[in-house]
Structure 1
Amino acid sequence: MRSVMSGSPDPSRADLLRGSLEAVAPVAHDLVSHFYALLFLRRPDLRALFPPAMDHQRDRLLAALLRVGAAGDEPHELRRYLRGLGRDHRKYGVLDEHYDAVGGALIGALARYLGERWTPELQAAWVEVYTWAAAVMIEAAADDAEDAPAWWDAVITAHEPRGRDIAVITVEPDRPLPYHPGQHVTVETPWWPRVWRHYSIANAPRVDGRLELHVRAVPAGWVSNALVHRARVGDRIRLGPARGGLVLRGETLRRTLCVAYGTGLAPIKALVEHMAQRQLAHRAHVFIGAEYRADLYDLGALSAMADVYPWLNVIPAVTHDRSFTGVRGALPDVLARYGDWADHDVFVSGSAALVRATAHRLTGELGVAPQRLHTESLDGSARGTVLLRGR
């Protein structure tokens, strides 16, 4: 296949594309609904590739449109994003031929909702950028298929409830699933076919190939509630390939600061295990934030590691629990009280709002260089590696 890695859309058309997206912004959800109506009308066979409820899928398409429409701003970042989409599409059963149908429905929906603004020049710009984007995704899927399956079947080997809404789940894939500590996988359950959600792997690679996942059941979360409240040992699920960039770079670290909120602890725990296995860290501080003591669901495991490794310091902090005898306060404030982090490599994982607040404080008054800050957002809106909240 001809490589498209060196090409990119005409940057002179970036303003035209961006302007068209701004024009349809007030009716964006109607546009996306019309796109799917056109697609399924023209190709009813494609409906089987999508989940029963389309709300999450509509949001994904809208996010992708916004990224493609800004192609002139960051073509290299867009190319990386599209390659990730192309690889992920394999587990849905997407074939090369499907991209033409998707492109036709997209052009039709844009034409309808842009009305008189839809000119031959604008149509040519959208056809060009979509054709390029489709080629990038097709090439990425083909590259991925050379050495990886579209998904892994896995069996649940342990299911540990931690409070009312959290479970620590261990799964064993049917074949080795390669990953780097700090990455995540997508999960599909038998109760909600074609509905995939992201969960971080909470352990460094093991000899037995098993993966630990931390899942919080969220309101109306189909997959998360099934995994926490319905799944049992022996149940089978599917796993998508590992993705994400919250990983350690290089062989040694001088000093490391890790900040985790909620089940954002999962990738941080994997990183700490990796540091211990490889003897990478000279000193590592792990701050774990929660509202209440009961939300520190895996503190025992991290504290046990700190008892073994003198270079590891684990500091839990809560905001609402008056009975808690340890550190009290929001983590950005706690970090400011604890000292200077400017010479540390920093890893932050949790909800988007908490990640943003922490990153702002660290790179502002606490003096951490942006290039030394690595973030993982559970709902996809933080800068850096993006992870959609498991639902």
Structure 2
Amino acid sequence: MDRPQPLDQTEQARLIRESFQVIAQHGDRVALHFFAELFLRHPELRDLFPVAMSELRGGLFDAITTIVQRIVSTGTLVPFLQQLGRDHRKYDIRTEHFAYVGEALMITLEKYAGEAWTPQVAEAWRSTYDLAAKVMLQAMQSVPPGTPRWWDAEVLHHQRYPGRIAVIVVRPHQPLPYVAGQYVTIETPYWPRVWRPFSIANAPREDHLLEFHVRAVGAGWVSNALVGKVQVGDRLKLGSAMGSMVLDETSDRPVLCVAGGTGLAPLKAIAQAFARDPRGRTLHLFFGARDDDELYDLENLLHLAEACPAITVVPVVSQYPSQRWRFGSLPDVVAESGNWAGHDVYVCGPPQMVTATVRRLADQGCPTSRIFYDPVT
């Protein structure tokens, strides 16, 4: 059957978003069916993936969601796909694999879109996947010679805090290029081929050390291993840097950072980068936790603010009143502390906190184009 006529970008984005609303209602079953189709048709690919697929299924759904959210703007979609392509080098992906994945994806989308699947919807998804595959493949092939598929890194420091939190410092075997605010995926020796994203908690340093803040969550295999099993001297694997929540060096506006829990990590990195050259601007960093004990890195933040008077740190606790810090819901405390409409805003933390904060700031008049956040803590 001939493919329908090409769609304009606006119509393609509309069809993708509307059909994805139907598909997303099926949750984890979509990713389960996709991988079942992929391995049924190409069983030789199974060894590229971990024995337990739960973490990877979530990553697939997150990637599709990001593509759907950015489909209307190639200015943000293409950089995301380029980063994704460079990162996927760690999986030993070959050119022909993109066709295999596209075949399984289209079968899966058609199954779960149901009556919403039309020739025009199919063409919209096929065109979008073709673009994604092309950009990712070009990014994979254009990596400078000598760039590793992943970075081996030795754990130099591991300190646990209340709330099942750990601060980990590692030394990559060679410098890992990144910008303050970005994240990398991490594999531990305890769960081979299982990678999860974690934000880098420091601005680039001359010694190339990297700091991570990790909270052990539920059945999170990687986070629990990083907090409870990893020790000094262990070796981790790190993927390429990703993420677009980085400091706008061209802006002359003041900066607002809102961090919930280990969402502090990328915002601490941004604050460190800011402190090197404030250029007459100010930065307010609100750091929220349930209680005083979970304000795990507060001492270092206060030292940073002492060294750079342009930075103001506001600790906030939400569960138990504190004698020293602000008390209340983090989004409420931020909104009540001033009008931030003229600021560049960076938000990171639990999804509900991020959503509530973005909503409160938008109500104040903050343009959503100047509110930056990534779905990684």
Paired with 1:199 and 1:247, the residues of 2 have a C-alpha distance of 15
For 2:370, give the aligned amino acid. R
Counterpart in the other structure of 2:284: 285
User: Does 1:177 pair with 2:176?
Assistant: yes
Counterpart in the other structure of 2:358: 359
Paired with 1:67 and 1:285, the residues of 2 have a C-alpha distance of 28
For 1:159, give the aligned amino acid. H
Q: Deviations along 1:79-123, whole A, 9 cap, x unmatched?
A: 343333322211111111111222222334455566788777765
CA 1:208–1:113: 2 relative to 1, 3 Å: closer
Counterpart in the other structure of 1:369: 367
Counterpart in the other structure of 1:241: 240
Counterpart in the other structure of 2:57: 58
For 1:325, give the aligned amino acid. R
Paired with 1:122 and 1:254, the residues of 2 have a C-alpha distance of 42
For 2:373, give the aligned amino acid. T
For 2:265, give the aligned amino acid. A
Counterpart in the other structure of 1:339: 338
Distance apart, 1:20 and its partner CA = 5.3
Distance apart, 1:139 and its partner CA = 1.1
Secondary structure at 2:133's aligned position in 1?
Answer: helix
Asked if structure 2 preserves the Cα contact closer than 8 Å seen for 1:10 and 1:72, the reply is: no
Distance apart, 1:135 and its partner CA = 1.6
Q: Deviations along 1:167-205, whole A, 9 cap, x unmatched?
A: 111000000111111111111111111111111111111
Distance apart, 1:218 and its partner CA = 0.9
Asked if structure 1 preserves the Cα contact closer than 8 Å seen for 2:87 and 2:241, the reply is: no
Counterpart in the other structure of 1:148: 147
Asked if structure 1 preserves the Cα contact closer than 8 Å seen for 2:83 and 2:241, the reply is: no
Paired with 1:246 and 1:232, the residues of 2 have a C-alpha distance of 30
Counterpart in the other structure of 2:220: 221
Q: Deviations along 1:253-280, whole A, 9 cap, x unmatched?
A: 4522222110111111112211222344
Asked if structure 2 preserves the Cα contact closer than 8 Å seen for 1:316 and 1:327, the reply is: yes
Paired with 1:120 and 1:336, the residues of 2 have a C-alpha distance of 47
**TM-score, normalization by structure 1:** 0.84
Counterpart in the other structure of 1:167: 166
Distance apart, 1:228 and its partner CA = 0.8
Paired with 2:289 and 2:70, the residues of 1 have a C-alpha distance of 38
CA 1:43–1:249: 2 relative to 1, 3 Å: same
Counterpart in the other structure of 2:199: 200
Secondary structure at 1:144's aligned position in 2?
Answer: coil
Counterpart in the other structure of 1:92: 91
CA 1:368–1:93: 2 relative to 1, 3 Å: same
Asked if structure 2 preserves the Cα contact closer than 8 Å seen for 1:17 and 1:70, the reply is: no
Asked if structure 2 preserves the Cα contact closer than 8 Å seen for 1:293 and 1:324, the reply is: no
Distance apart, 1:372 and its partner CA = 3.1
Alignment of 1:318-333 (within 5 A): 318-333=317-332
Asked if structure 2 preserves the Cα contact closer than 8 Å seen for 1:170 and 1:210, the reply is: yes
Secondary structure at 2:256's aligned position in 1?
Answer: strand
For 2:366, give the aligned amino acid. V
Counterpart in the other structure of 1:297: 296
Distance apart, 1:68 and its partner CA = 5.8
For 1:362, give the aligned amino acid. L
14-23 or 303-312: bigger deviation:
14-23
Q: Deviations along 1:26-77, whole A, 9 cap, x unmatched?
A: 5564444333222212221211112222223233334445566788744544
Paired with 2:20 and 2:367, the residues of 1 have a C-alpha distance of 34
Asked if structure 2 preserves the Cα contact closer than 8 Å seen for 1:252 and 1:280, the reply is: no
For 1:370, give the aligned amino acid. T
Q: Deviations along 1:285-328, whole A, 9 cap, x unmatched?
A: 22111111111000011112222332222111111123543211
For 2:178, give the aligned amino acid. Y
User: Does 1:189 pair with 2:188?
Assistant: yes
**TM-score, normalization by structure 2:** 0.87
For 1:322, give the aligned amino acid. P
Paired with 2:15 and 2:339, the residues of 1 have a C-alpha distance of 46
Distance apart, 1:227 and its partner CA = 0.8
Alignment of 1:20-35 (within 5 A): 21=20, 24=23, 27=26, 29-35=28-34
Counterpart in the other structure of 1:311: 310
Unaligned runs of 5+ in 1: 1-7, 381-386
For 1:214, give the aligned amino acid. H
Paired with 2:310 and 2:122, the residues of 1 have a C-alpha distance of 59
Counterpart in the other structure of 1:210: 209
143-152 or 297-306: bigger deviation:
143-152
CA 1:31–1:362: 2 relative to 1, 3 Å: closer
CA 1:100–1:288: 2 relative to 1, 3 Å: same
Asked if structure 2 preserves the Cα contact closer than 8 Å seen for 1:318 and 1:324, the reply is: no
149-158 or 108-117: bigger deviation:
108-117
What percent identity do the matched residue pairs reach? 45
Paired with 1:70 and 1:374, the residues of 2 have a C-alpha distance of 14
CA RMSD of aligned residues (A): 2.9
CA 1:370–1:281: 2 relative to 1, 3 Å: farther
Asked if structure 2 preserves the Cα contact closer than 8 Å seen for 1:290 and 1:318, the reply is: yes
Asked if structure 1 preserves the Cα contact closer than 8 Å seen for 2:275 and 2:311, the reply is: no
Q: Deviations along 1:136-156, whole A, 9 cap, x unmatched?
A: 221121123556322111000
For 1:60, give the aligned amino acid. G
Counterpart in the other structure of 1:232: 231
Paired with 1:60 and 1:196, the residues of 2 have a C-alpha distance of 9
Paired with 2:115 and 2:352, the residues of 1 have a C-alpha distance of 39
Paired with 2:284 and 2:21, the residues of 1 have a C-alpha distance of 44
